[in-house]
Structure 1
Amino acid sequence: MAFVKLSATERRRLSAFFTCLILAAVAWVFTTLSGTYNFTVKKELSYKNAPEKRAFHSLQPDTINTTMQGTGWQMLFSRMNNEDNTITVDLQTLENKDYVVLSSQLKQINDRKEFDEQIVGFNPDTLYFDFSNRAVKRIPVKLLTDISYQHQFSQSNNVVITPSYVTLSGPANIIDNIRAWNTDSLILDSVNETVRTRVNMQPAKEGNVSIYPKSIQLVLPVDEFTEKTISIPVKLINNQNYYKVKIFPLKVNVTFITSLNRYAEMDEELFEASADLTLWSDRDYTTLPVKLTRIPAYCKIVKIEPQNIDFIVRK
């Protein structure tokens, strides 16, 4: 391919041409973006001054299309800015009506905005609500967790939640079916000590349901665990014909994992082991398996020796 060789004068002229072209394009962009335009932005709805004696349910989605008026620059940056994406609607008129006209609150909504672009219209402009009797209900807190512990550490006692109940307020037909309220998930990794923290409650999905308090305080006891072995007497059950039965051994050794704080207090009175004689009378077992029927909380059984006991029945 042949290349066109330009003289120094021609190169200067070509460079000047492209420079002028770029400057003209930049000037056109600045002029265009400096103009005033109407553009549509989707906004989320939030509510304030909800009626105290009337429970409401919104009959439209929780987002609305707003017509904004601003410069091209504002239109451009509004597409990238998600921080100012909420409109707060005053529900004071719902005390005696079942709808809210957004255009009647246009000045108040614009006065609360932090940016220069103005809202000039809404679609839809009127929000409609359905009403039902408001009810109040106390329900237990349900803690959601995803916790991993360091080696030999684990939960050593019940979690203490304060408060353990929350109060719901809203339409009776909604909250009557709610039995418990979840917290946000408590996610912890490599835990090796007692956890004391505050956890938020999950927000209500319905705008006409309120929850109090919005967070709870919890204490999660954590301790180091170790093994311990004790001898536990075996109790014979379901001797329905009152046979004279001799079992041996009379005790079994139970090895379990327990926390260091409770190690000293762990004795045979906290456990109960049994053997079921109906396994012999009804199913012809020649030895009886031992089952632990009472185990302290937060203990993990490692092994039972022996797992089966011998017996002699005298009729």
Structure 2
Amino acid sequence: MALNNKYNYIAKTVLVFKNTPTKRAFYPLQSDTVDLEVEGTGWQLLFSRLRISPPSISVNLGQLNTKDFIVFSDQLLNVNKQVGSTQKVISVKPDTLYFDFTKRIVKTVDIKLVSHLGFSKQYGLASGVLLSPKKIKVAGPKAELEQITFWPTDTLKISNLQSNSTIRIGLQHSLHKNVSIYPSSTEVKLSVDEFTEKTVEVPLKIVNNK
């Protein structure tokens, strides 16, 4: 194989969706990994076998506002802009992406803090933990949202706490591609105080001593 000659080769890449529909919940009916048929040099073919390929490409889903599918051949120009001028994407397999649609609704649920807090000796929480915001909006299919009563944060881990703290922490990612949340983080305020020990002597009185 002449490394400077042109060859066609396959490079696997992951899809990243952008411009998703705001009023339609959707679920992809195929994998989020596609095969790019790329024209490049022998050097690039060698690198492809070493798993050096575009890690991801973005796909515009704007057409889903009126259609139930996306055709890659309509977006080849945009795809080629993402892989660089030295390579040329000839085709994408599968060429058509199909989506399942359901009615999209929005509900508000409480944020649940997941935490492992450790305190210095004689220190502890002086009051309840404050979250801001303490609720989020969840959007998705009605059947999915009926099962969601709260939304957990990422795990907040702090040790040796002995003063007030304010931390911004992210919310856990949705396990369903057609469920989205807003906002994606919350501010946690911890009010910490020192609890001192004190010895108090009190008189002892015996009653009904017969």
For the superposition of Structure 1 and Structure 2, which TM-score range results when normalised by the shorter chain?
0.7 to 0.9
Q: What is the number of residues matched between the two proteins?
A: 204
Q: In the alignment, which of 167, 174, 183 is matched to residue 153 of structure 2?
A: 183
Sort the Cα spacing of 1:223 and 1:131 in 2 relative to 1 into closer, same or farther, 3 A. same
Distance 1:95 1:225, change over 3 A: same
Structure-1 residue corresponding to 2:10: 40
**Conserved 8 A contact 2:57-2:82:** no
- How far the C-alpha of 1:69 sits from its partner, in A, is 2.4
**1:162-211 per-position Cα deviation (integer Å, ceiling 9, x unaligned):** 00001011111212211111212222233222221111112223332221
* Overall identity of the aligned pairs, in %: 37
Residues 118, 229 of structure 1: alpha-carbon distance in 2 compared, 3 angstrom cutoff: farther
TM-score normalised by the chain length of structure 2: 0.84
Task: Decide whether aligned partners of structure 1 residues 141 and 35 sit closer, same or farther in structure 2, where only a CA change above 3 A counts.
Answer: same
| 1:292-303 → structure 2 map (5 Å cutoff) | none
- Greater Rg, structure 1 or structure 2? 1
What pairs up with 1:1-315 in 2 under 5 angstroms? 32-78=2-48, 79-81=50-52, 84-114=54-84, 116-228=86-198
Classify 1:35/1:134 alpha carbon distance in 2 versus 1 (closer, same or farther; 3 Å): same
Q: In the alignment, is the contact (CA less than 8 A) between 2:8 and 2:37 conserved in 1?
A: yes
Q: CA-atom RMSD, angstroms?
A: 2.7
- The letter for the 2-side match of 1:52 is T
Whole-angstrom distance in 1 between the partners of 2:42 and 2:194: 63
Distance 2:85 2:124 in 1: 51
TM-score, normalization by structure 1:
0.58
Rate the CA distance shift 1:66–1:206 in 2: closer, same or farther, 3 A. Answer: farther
Q: Which amino acid in the other structure matches residue 81 of structure 2? A: D
Change (3 A) 1:182 1:122: same
- Cα offset, 1:76, TM superposition: 4.0
1:15 corresponds to: none
What displacement does 1:142 show? 1.3
Q: Deviations over 1:246-279 (max 9, x none)?
A: xx989xxxxxxxxxxxxxxxxxxxxxxxxxxxxx
What CA distance in whole angstroms lies between the structure 2 residues aligned with 1:130 and 1:91? 13
Distance in structure 2 (CA, Å) of the matches to 1:42 and 1:195: 45
Which structure features the higher share of helix residues?
1
Gaps of 5+ in 1: 1-30, 232-247, 251-315
Code of the residue aligned with 2:5 in structure 1: it is G
